[in-house]
Chain A
Amino acid sequence: MSEKSGAALEPMIGVAPEDVAVVPTGGEPSLWPVVPRPVLGVRIVIGVVLAAAALYAPFYFQPEMNRVLSQAVYLAIAAMGLNLLTGFNGQVSIGHGAFFGVGAFTSAILMIDYGWTFEPTILVSAVLTGVFGLLVGLPALRVRGLYLALVTLGLAVLFPRVAQKFVEGTGGVALLRPSRSEFSSLIDGLDDDQWAYLLSLAIMVVLFLLAWNLVRGRVGRAMIAVRDQEIAASTVGVNLAGTKVATFAISAAYAGVAGSLSVMIDRIADGTNPILYFQRSIEFLVAMVIGGAATILGPAVGALLLVMLRRNTENLIEGKEVLSPAIYGGALIAIVFVLPEGVVGGVRRLLARLGRRSVAAAAAARPPVVADPPPTTSPDDSH
C-alpha cells in the first residue's frame, strides 16, 4: 500500500531502460513485475510453433470450435488495445467495452442500414472509435488513476443505454443481427467460419506487429516513460498530453476493430444487456493481466485462456449455467494468485531458470531486480 491513500492505482517506479518491460529501481513495487526475456533462439522456435498451430487450426477443428477461436482472436485484439493504454502507458480503463460496442454497432448499422459489405466497415469502425478515444482521452488528462477507472466504467455502463435510445433493430429493441450471407467467405475453398477466423487472425497479426513496433520505438518509450515517471518524462521533452491522448485513441481503435470483428463472428450487436459492455471491459482487463501486462504476447495468451475457461466452465455443472460466472470469477482470482505476472511472465521465468545463460546476459543489460521488495517508507532501501 502506498503512503498516499488516494493513490492506490498510481504507478510508482523509476525510469524505463531500453527494454519493453520496466525494471524497478526504487523500493516501491512496480506496477508490472518484470521477468527477463528468454534467448532469441528460444523465442523464434516458440513463435514458429505458435504460428503453425494458429494457421492450421481452422482446418483441423469444427466450425463451432473455430468460432470460439475467433472469439479469442478479437478478444486478443481488444486486450492488446487495453494493454497499450494500461500496460504500457499506465492509464487504467475499465471502459473499453464501450469502444468495442461502438465498433460493433458501427459495422452492424453500416451493413444493415446502408448495405455495406462487412470488410470495409472494419476500417470505419477503427477510425470512428479512434476519434472517440481521442475525445475521451482529452478530459482523461485531468483525471488520475482511480478516478479515470471510474469515469471509464461509466462509459461502459452508459453505452448500452445510448444504444437503446438511438438504435432500433427488428422488434424495436437495440439488437442488430446482420444476415449470415453478409459474411460469406471471400475466398473459394474456405468455409465461412474458416474465413472469419483467418481474416480475424490476419488483422490480429497486423495489429500486434504494429503494437510491437510502436512499443519498441520512440513513441513506445515515451508511453512507458509517461507511465513510470510523468514528471521526469516531461523534463526530457516528452509531450505528456500528446502521448497520453494518442495512446487512448489508438487503444480505442483496437477495441473498435475487435467489436467490428465480433459482429462477423457472433453475428450480433446487442444493446439490450445493460452490463454486457462492462463485462467486456472486465474481460479485456483480465485477458491482459492473465496473459501478462506490458508484454506483446500476453494479450493473445490471456484471451485464449479466457475463452477456453469460459467455454469449459459453461457446462461444468449440469443445468447450473448460472454458476459459470462464479467459476469464471473464482478461476480469475486463482490465476492472479498463482501467476501474478501473467502466463507470459511465468513462462519467461521458467525459461530463465532453465537457461541461466540468458539470465546472465539479460542481467548484464539491466540493473538487478529485488525479488521481494521490502515494505518501505523510504525511496531507497539498499542499506
Chain B
Amino acid sequence: MTAALLELEGLYGGYGPVQVLHGIELSVEPGHVAVVLGANGAGKTTTLRAISGLISTTGDIRFDGASIAGKGPELVSKLGIAHVPQGRGTFSELTVEDNLRIGAINRRDNGIERDLRRWYEVFPRLGDRSKQEAGSMSGGEQQMLAIARAMMSRPRLLLLDEPSLGLAPLVTRELFARLGDLNREDGLSILVVEQNANLALDIGHWGYVLETGHIAVQGPATQLHDDEAVRKAYLGF
C-alpha cells in the first residue's frame, strides 16, 4: 500500500487562546486531488496554515512519511509543498515575471527559463503582461499567477486556499480546468480548500467536510457531490 503523500493526525492548533483545529485527521494520496469543504470559520484556512508551519500545533503532520510538524514555512516550502494563500499572495509592486522568479527562488537547476516559458504558454495572459506590475492585474489573472508562481518551485504538493474567492464563475471554471490538467498531466497532488464545492469536487478524488475544527464527513469526491443529504447539510446546494 502506497503511503499517503501528506497525513494529518490528531491535529490541534489555532491562534493563541483561540483554538480552531480540534483533532484533524486527513490525508492526501500521491497524484490525488483532496478537497476540503466547510463553512466560514470551520478551520479550512487554519488547516493549510498548520501544514505550512505558520501556526503552532500539536499532533502530527507527515509529508512523504517524515514529520514536518513544528517546521517553519521556509523549510516546508523547500521540502516540496507550495502554498497559495487566500488572497493569492501576489507581490503587487513587482512585475509578473519577477513574481514567477520568486517562485523559483530556491532552485539551483537550469530549468528555470524553460519553466517560465511553459507557464507563459499555459497561462497566455501572464505572458502578455510579463513586464507589468502584478498588482495591476485582475483577480483571475492574479490567481493564475499565484498558481504558476507556486508551480515554479516544482512542488510535489500544492496547497490552495479558496482559489475561487472573488472570481467570476467563468474564470473559476477555467481555473479549475487548469488545475485538473495539472493533476492529470503532471501527477501533481493538490489539497484545495474551497467554499465553491461543486467545481472543486468535480476535479477531486477525495473530499472532506470540516465543521468547527474537525472532519464531519469524508468520502470519495463523486459520492459527496451526489449525496443529497451531505450536500444539503454541509454544502448548501
Interfacial residues, chain A to chain B (CB-CB below 8 A): 3-5, 368, 370-375, 377-383
Contacts and interface: CB of A to CB of B under 8 A. Distances in A.
Contacts, number: 48
B41 A382 contact: yes
Contact of A370 (B15, B44, B45): B15
A34 to B, nearest CB: 15
B16 A382 contact: no
Given A371-B17, A371-B18, A374-B15, A383 B93 contact: no
Interface of B: 15-18, 20, 40-47, 49, 54-55, 85-89, 92-93, 161, 193
Q: Which 5 A-B pairs have the closest CB atoms?
A: A383-B45, A378-B86, A372-B16, A378-B87, A371-B16
Nearest to A5: B93
Contacts of B47: 383
A4 B92 CA distance: 8
Contact of A375 (B45, B54, B193): B54
B44 A383 contact: yes
A326 to B, nearest CB: 35
B86 A373 contact: no
B92 A370 contact: no
Nearest to A382: B41
Nearest to B44: A383
B87 A382 contact: no
A377 to B, nearest CB: 5
Given A377-B89, A378-B85, 11 more contacts: A3-B92, A4-B92, A374-B49, A374-B54, A374-B55, A375-B54, A377-B86, A381-B45, A383-B20, A383-B40, A383-B44
A383 B17 contact: no
A377 B142 CA distance: 14
Nearest to B49: A374
Given A5-B93, A374-B49, A379 B87 contact: yes
Contact of A373 (B15, B17, B49): B15
Given A383-B42, A383-B45, A370 B18 contact: yes
Contacts of B41: 382-383
A374 B20 CA distance: 13
A378 B17 contact: no
A382 B20 contact: yes
B143 to A, nearest CB: 13
A372 B15 contact: yes
16 contacts: A3-B92, A368-B18, A372-B16, A374-B15, A377-B85, A377-B88, A377-B89, A378-B45, A378-B86, A378-B87, A380-B40, A381-B86, A383-B20, A383-B41, A383-B43, A383-B47
A141 B89 CA distance: 31
A3 to B, nearest CB: 7
A95 to B, nearest CB: 30
A382 B55 CA distance: 13
Contacts of A373: 15
A307 to B, nearest CB: 36
B40 A382 contact: yes
Nearest to B87: A378
A118 to B, nearest CB: 53
Contact of B15 (A3, A371, A377, A379): A371
Contacts of A381: 45-46, 86
A375 B52 CA distance: 13
Nearest to B18: A370
Contacts of A377: 85-89
A377 B49 CA distance: 12
B11 to A, nearest CB: 14
Nearest to B195: A383
A272 B188 CA distance: 71
A374 B41 CA distance: 15
A43 to B, nearest CB: 25
A378 B84 CA distance: 11
